[in-house]
Amino acid sequence: MEIRISKTTQPKVKPPEAELGFGKYFTDHLFACDYVEGRGWGDARIEPYAPMQLDPAAGVLHYGQAMFEGSKAFRGVDGRVRLFRPEAHARRMIAGAPRLCMPTPPEALMVEAVRALVKVELDWVPRSEGTSLYLRPTLVATEGFLGVRPSREYRYFVIASPAGNYFGGKGLKSVRIWVETQDVRAPRGGLGSTKAGANYAASLKSAQDAKKRGFDQVLWLDGKDHEYVEEVGTMNVCFLLGSTLVTPPLSDSILAGVTRDSVLTLARDQGLTVEERPISLKELRGAQQSGELKEIFGTGTAAVISPVGELAFAGESLVINGGKPGPVAEQLYTAVCDIQRGLKPDPYGWMQLVD
């Protein structure tokens, strides 16, 4: 499908790279295309970034038919811009959308959309270490209709946001985590394995309560027994037990993280034993007591790796690696970032040159 491009006549002033933060600034353009049942996807376009018109009865506003992705473009040390695993992100949306009865554009169009947008916004890809252009593909139901059934019209759009190091400054910083033993992010049989906006709505209250208690985020447990670990904050989670990296196995309540997959691949290739298996709070407590629990970290696109320095429950606290980022988290973080910035060879074919 051809992508029509109309450029802005009023480009924005770009913010200083040191002030980027995460998700605060948006580039000059967006990609969009629309779906109508019976006609399929059409009207692929790149146009000036602007508020969009939506029927007040649109399905996304009432019944929450909404999904998103998060991927990144990086400016390498050679100055050239590369996308990180764009097909993996497109495929995850394609895999998740049927659970929400949503159609997606074909994989090739989704990858081309991101690539074409980044090409138009090349000047927006920041240069400093730890920065990137964060890409947010989004799929929403647009038909104006109040009956409870899948919408017959959708919009897929991609916006782009220059992003700084997730932790501010350089390198990694440990976070303090509250173990959520009441509310759940996603039940078995629910939407948890999809990047549905609803999962994030379900997570906000616990995160807010954790912040009120002085913590950064929560550890999510399974919705049935409230015993097995699922995710941490908005990320997948890994535990270093002795010299084995353990992470919960993918299920219908856990997101198949692209960073999770990348980190597990690198860990295996660096000689670590990786186990994808259920891990309970009881096992974690035991491993802490015996000194086996060396490190905990989250993996996700935004932060790449987020070390956990403390895990707290009511009346109990496990301090991990003296509250500091551990060597395995550091080593895996460096390995991912070196590939993303073109500092090291990319034997996995993860990076796609844009310019």
Stretch that binds ligand COI, among 122-130, 157-165, 262-270, 294-302 (CB under 6 A): 294-302
Q: How far is the CB of 136 from ligand COI (least distance, A)?
A: 9
Q: How far is the CB of 173 from ligand COI (least distance, A)?
A: 15
Q: Is 193 in the site for ligand COI (CB under 6 A)?
A: no
Query: Under a CB-based contact definition with an 8 Å cutoff, are residues 306 and 235 in contact?
Result: yes
Q: Which is nearer to ligand COI, 151 or 234 (CB)?
A: 234
Q: Which two tokens stand for residue 194?
A: 């999809």
Binds ligand COI by CB under 6 A, chosen from 235, 238, 308, 335: 235
Looking at the DSSP assignment, which residues form a beta bridge with residue 179?
219
Q: How far is the CB of 306 from ligand COI (least distance, A)?
A: 8
Secondary structure (3-state) at 162 = strand
Q: Which is nearer to ligand COI, 142 or 234 (CB)?
A: 234
Q: Which is nearer to ligand COI, 46 or 339 (CB)?
A: 339
Distance CA 3, CA 53 (A): 20
**Dihedral of alpha carbons 270, 272, 273, 275, sign:** negative
What single DSSP character describes residue 140? E
Q: How far is the CB of 49 from ligand COI (least distance, A)?
A: 19
Binds ligand COI by CB under 6 A, chosen from 131, 234, 253, 262: 234
Q: Is 138 in the site for ligand COI (CB under 6 A)?
A: no
Render 176-195 in DSSP notation, one character per residue. Answer: EEEEE-SS-S--TTSSTTS-
Q: Is 238 in the site for ligand COI (CB under 6 A)?
A: no
Q: Is 301 in the site for ligand COI (CB under 6 A)?
A: yes
Q: Which is nearer to ligand COI, 130 or 300 (CB)?
A: 300
Q: Which of residues 57-116 bind ligand COI (CB under 6 A)?
A: 70
Q: How far is the CB of 204 from ligand COI (least distance, A)?
A: 11
Q: Which is nearer to ligand COI, 46 or 90 (CB)?
A: 90
Distance CA 187, CA 251 (A): 10
Say how many residues touch ligand COI, by CB under 6 A: 7
Query: Under a CB-based contact definition with an 8 Å cutoff, are residues 260 and 231 in contact?
Result: no
Q: Is 336 in the site for ligand COI (CB under 6 A)?
A: no
Q: Which is nearer to ligand COI, 166 or 215 (CB)?
A: 166
Distance CA 45, CA 5 (A): 6
Q: Is 302 in the site for ligand COI (CB under 6 A)?
A: yes
Q: Which is nearer to ligand COI, 300 or 326 (CB)?
A: 300
Stretch that binds ligand COI, among 29-37, 105-113, 152-160, 298-306 (CB under 6 A): 298-306
Q: Which two tokens stand for residue 67?
A: 């999904």
Distance CA 156, CA 88 (A): 17
Query: Under a CB-based contact definition with an 8 Å cutoff, are residues 341 and 129 in contact?
Result: yes
Distance CA 94, CA 67 (A): 10
Stretch that binds ligand COI, among 100-108, 115-123, 144-152, 300-308 (CB under 6 A): 300-308
Distance CA 57, CA 91 (A): 29
The rounded radius of gyration (Å) of the Cα atoms in the chain is 21
For the chain, the first-to-last Cα distance in angstroms comes to 20
Stretch that binds ligand COI, among 102-110, 113-121, 282-290, 299-307 (CB under 6 A): 299-307
Query: Under a CB-based contact definition with an 8 Å cutoff, are residues 161 and 14 in contact?
Result: no
Q: Is 300 in the site for ligand COI (CB under 6 A)?
A: yes
Site for ligand COI, rule CB under 6 A: 70, 234-235, 300-303
